[in-house]
Amino acid sequence: MSQIEDAGSKEDLLAKDRKYVWHHMSPHNDNPMIFASGEGSWITDVDGNRYLDGMSGLWCVNVGHGREEIAQAAYQQMKTLAYSPMSQSHEPGIQLAEKISDWLDGEYRIFFSNSGSDANEVAFKIVRQYFHQKGEGTRYKFISRYRAYHGNSMGALGATGQSSRKIKYEPLGTGFVHVPPPYCYRCPFGQKHDTCAMQCAKAYEDTIIAEGPETVAAVILEPVITGGGVIVPQDEYLAKVRSICDKYGVLMIVDEVICGVGRSGKRFGHQNYNVKPEIVTMAKGLTSAYAPLSATAVRADFYESFKAPGATSHLRHVNTFGGNPVSCAVALENMNILEREGLVARAAELGEKLREKLSIVAAHPNVGEIRYFGFMCGIEMVEDRVSKTPASADKVLRVLQSCKQQGLIVGKNGDTVPGYANILTIAPPFVTSEEELDFIASTLENAFANL
């Protein structure tokens, strides 16, 4: 759609929007921004106002907006083969599965779906079936973390540890148990850095023992809790969880929906911590959101157990649009761009530069802590640094609105834990320039100065 200059045309669009559109995560948004185009790190609304997309959409437009080469890849694939179900196969799906396995530094079998929620649902089904076929059908429970987000579907929402998202939707999928997050700023165990005994990791072992090791199938965790506030664990945390899983025969599912495909400064977030999961889920940056696609990567030796004889030994899961050849072609070109332009390493560099440039913001009295992981950060807003009382909704909103008025879109951890939606989130595209980083930093500095 072209830029709209006539105010009447915009009002007509708004009237139709109010009549027909149900917006995501919004309480009756009667005056939404209507975006018309995007290029690089910027998006433009129908009035011609430009905004730096400080959240890459929803943590997903990693290679930036307006990539002609991705559009061409989709166009060529649509002309050649627009659809074929993955009950058989097609060339883009084969090539993409090979590339994902290569990026994971191992041999994995790839099951394609549409979204991160789908990818995690597939992981849960694979794990439960795997244990049944091993003769350990009592293993059905999954351990997740409070504040973590794993999707909107009933099983994935059951795994999610954000109470605000669950209100009025329960009961959800069963068999999900939660442990405290590795939240050093607000340590659930009352510890400080110099006295930390990694109780947040030991909580997995305590929970496995309390639930009964024979009932626990897997843990699911992001390398860093993203939507729950960019909660970054200590360096040794993931390795300790991995060792606990190994001790009790529990599998590890790593949710890389946000952290994966370069966002962490490595190809996948868990590679920063030198752990090897049995299952890795991914979406978002897999296509940089140019087409819907997700993947559940399963270690190859686990796949072998699904070849056993019997009517119910294969994975009886199908997804009409999962692995669509157009989406696979888009993902391949997206990953080729990341490789060609060195954008994974670029994300690591940009993250370090962002840390430097936000040092002034970090000193503001309403900023308790800024947490970084690759090219993303979470700014925890507080009323004051001594009490650490979460900043009021009004203060958070004022910063968000000030940024928007200056031409910057940032996010926050909305609908997470009541009273704790106080964390601003930033995750720009990997093509962001240093000048654009300066703009992000100065805009945030101005927004906090006006509190």
Task: Determine the pLDDT at residue 8.
Answer: 61
Which of 7-11, 24-28, 166-170, 436-440 bottoms out in mean pLDDT, i.e. has the lowest? 7-11
Query: What percent of the chain clears pLDDT 90, i.e. is strictly above it?
Result: 92
Q: Give me the DSSP letters along 295-361.
A: EEEEEHHHHHGGGSSSTTSS-----SSTT-HHHHHHHHHHHHHHHHTTHHHHHHHHHHHHHHHTHHH
User: Do both 172 and 245 map to the same domain?
Assistant: yes
How much is the pTM? 0.96
Q: Which CATH number goes with the domain that contains 76? A: 3.40.640.10
The residue from 321, 340, 359 where one domain ends is: 340
Is residue 270 predicted with pLDDT exceeding 60? yes
In a domain, 26, yes or no: no
Same domain, residue pair 238 and 301: yes
* Residue 211 and residue 263 in one domain: yes
In a shared domain, residues 56 and 204: no
pLDDT, residue 415, reads 86
Q: For residue 387, count CB atoms less than 10 angstroms from its CB and return exposed for 0-12, middle for 13-18, buried for 19 or more.
A: exposed
Establish if 15 belongs to a structural domain.
no
Whether residue 40 sits in one domain with residue 118: no
316 and 358 share one domain? no
Domain identity same for 146 and 135: yes
Domain boundary among 280, 308, 340: 340
| Cα-to-chain-centroid distance, residue 261 | 10
pLDDT higher than threshold 80 for residue 7: no
The domain in which residue 375 lies consists of 33-63+343-449
pLDDT value at position 126? 98
Total structural domains in the chain? 2
Confidence band, pLDDT 50/70/90 cuts, at residue 195: confident
Whether residue 257 sits in one domain with residue 141: yes
How do residues 37-74 score in pLDDT, each as one tens digit? Answer: 999 999 999 999 999 999 999 999 999 999 999 999 99
User: In this structure, is residue 368 part of a structural domain?
Assistant: yes
Range in 7-21, 37-51, 116-130, 224-238 the model is least confident about: 7-21
pLDDT for position 2: 47
Burial grade of 308 (CB within 10 A; 0-12, 13-18, 19 or more)? exposed
**Would the pLDDT of 1 be above 50?**
no
pLDDT for 435 equals: 98
Pinpoint the alpha helices (H) of 81-133: 91-103, 116-133
In this structure, are 334 and 358 located in the same domain?
A: no
Residue 196 resides in a domain: yes
The 10s digit of each residue's pLDDT in 414-431 is 889 899 999 999 999 999
Whether residues 119 and 107 fall in one domain: yes
1 belongs to a structural domain? no
How large is the average pLDDT for residues 364-370? 98
- Residue 360 predicted with pLDDT over 70: yes
Higher per-residue confidence, 29 vs 52:
52
Query: Which CATH number goes with the domain that contains 421?
Result: 3.90.1150.10
Indicate the residue among 319, 340, 361 that finishes a domain. 340
Rounded CA separation 143/211 (Å): 10
Domain co-membership, 39 together with 119: no
Q: Would you say residue 7 lies in a domain? A: no
Question: Which position has the higher pLDDT, 357 or 195?
Answer: 357
Say if 380 falls within a structural domain.
yes
82 assigned to some structural domain? yes
My answer on whether 432 and 298 are in the same domain is no
Report, as an integer, the average pLDDT of 239-263: 98
